[in-house]
A and B are shown apart, each in its own frame.
Chain A
Amino acid sequence: MIPGVDGFMYPNEVELQWSVLIVLYPYITGLVAGAFILASLERVFNVAAVRPTYRLALLTALAFLLVAPLPLQLHLGHPERSFEMYLTPHSSSAMAMFGFVYLWYLTVVLLLEIWLEYRTEIVGLAQSTKGLKRWIYRALTLGSYNISPAARRMDERVGYAVTVIGVPSAFLLHGYVGFIFGSVKANPWWSTPLMPVVFLFSAMVSGIAAVMVLYVVCMKLRKTPIDMRCLDTIARYLFYTFVIDFTLEMLDLIHRTYESDESFRSLDFMVHTRLLFSHVILQIFLGTLVPLALLAANQLWRYSEARRKAMYMTAGALTLVGIFAMRWNVVIGGQLFSKSFLGYTSYKMQMASREGLVAAVLLMLLPFAIFLVLVKLLPPWQGGKAHEA
């Protein structure tokens, strides 16, 4: 009798291969993609109401994107060999595109867009600050101090183009992760064409929720009034995205139950036992139904500003937990059952090891530390002028 195993597992299946760090990675890139989509709402889709959160969303995306490769590096048996993905990427492997999509998104989309957005302030700060900060800003100018109106108009136009390219790039950055799981025919919990789409929409939900929560928290800390029109608009888009995400997940569930193929009995049992808390309670009920109800209520009835803030913050926080649970259920859940459909194992999460809980918590806190540095360096509060079409 193997501890933690019920029924029969192939002998090599007992130990889980992908740990909580692999749960963290899609969560983080999901936040990046979602935050960027929110930023693009204003820039490309002309939703002027969310302008106050434009710069905040970009910095959030950058803070999380910088941390994104770290859980992967900690997970690899040989992180020192990870550059091989740049040397000899295997064109049939979705995972091989990670290095290129990541670098593309980081440099050509995010860093370029942030640079173009902040150029005016950077040039100003390069001339007005002293000491180390002066050198940092001077480096960031890349040697150009041209902030004439014509140059700024050029930045505006190029920035628009970058955002337009950025939207499908963000989809690719996170969608390919969904494809990594969705294309594994050996694993029926993962293998579905819906997987990249579900991942993408849940990413957008988590990203929008993250920016919404961060906005309220930052405004509270700075004792600045919150733009309620902005907050209401974000909440509305969160609601729309959530409805699509929920529909897709329910479609997957209904489809599985209806077709009831060989894997169904085993997976169904797993959801009702080993995944009861994380899937049914955390992901579906607390993480989706309750936030949806709170957001839907605000579309039907008008509440006071204080009450709206409380409902949005609750919905946002629950959503963030729920989307993490969704990643957990996909990654960990996909490894808890045997491919023979005759047994189950358990995930023994370690504490202080390279892939343990402590590492996961630190990796989740790191983006916030980076975010603090970024908002000090490139303050998003002024917001600048609204972008012209």
Chain B
Amino acid sequence: MLMRRLFRDSAHLVRPALVLLAALALFLVVRSAIIPKAFGQYGHYRPGALDLVREHPIAFAGQDTCVMCHDDQAKARAAGKHAHVACEACHGALAQHADDPAAHVPKLPDVADLCRRCHEKDAAKPKNFPQVATAAHSGGALCNACHQPHNPHL
């Protein structure tokens, strides 16, 4: 008797509870449908993200690729002070050229700016790094008038 009366007086409370439960159930169904597959496989993220990042195209071929064809320049460079300067550090990104050498012919870099960027005298540069006040040093002549870029030591 008490239970029946209790139920009658609180029956209306079941309604908002049912609304909430129905919403929760709907949410769980939708969630299982749209949650990314394999999420959590390696950690709290979508493992597909790793593949997505890896798919990015490559712009710089890397000097190991350049020396496969350009043996002479590689030998000259290896003999001098620029031995550890990558080819593309001066010649720019050339992966496209490596893939199809005839289709993408690289433009030779502008000498004046190029050499200055590293070798212009600057108090913040390490003291033992070769640097000159280029205007006074060359008197206006281009750097490659005297220095061979692949083996620049005179």
Residue ranges of A at the interface with B (Cβ–Cβ < 8 Å)? 86-88, 90-91, 107-108, 112, 115, 119, 142-144, 146, 148, 150-151, 153-154, 158
Contact = CB atoms under 8 A, between A and B. Distances in A.
A153 B9 contact: yes
Interface string B35-74: 1100110001000000000000000000000000000000
Q: Nearest 8 CB-CB pairs, A to B?
A: A144-B12, A142-B15, A150-B9, A151-B9, A154-B10, A154-B9, A87-B35, A146-B12
B127 interface: no
Interface in B88-116: none
24 contacts: A86-B31, A87-B31, A87-B35, A87-B36, A88-B35, A88-B36, A88-B44, A91-B44, A107-B20, A112-B16, A142-B16, A142-B19, A143-B15, A144-B12, A144-B15, A146-B8, A146-B11, A150-B5, A150-B9, A151-B9, A151-B10, A153-B9, A154-B9, A158-B10
A162 to B, nearest CB: 11
A228 to B, nearest CB: 37
Interface string B1-42: 000010011111101100110000001000100111001100
The size class of the interface chain B forms with chain A is 10 to 19
A107 B34 CA distance: 24
Of B19, B40, B44, the most chain A CB neighbours within 10 A belong to: B44
Contacts of A119: 12
Interface of B: 5, 8-13, 15-16, 19-20, 27, 31, 34-36, 39-40, 44
B13 A158 contact: yes
A67 B124 CA distance: 54
Contacts of A87: 31, 34-36
Given A88-B35, A88-B44, A112-B16, 15 more contacts: A87-B31, A91-B44, A107-B20, A108-B20, A119-B12, A142-B19, A143-B15, A146-B8, A146-B11, A146-B12, A148-B9, A151-B9, A151-B10, A154-B9, A154-B10
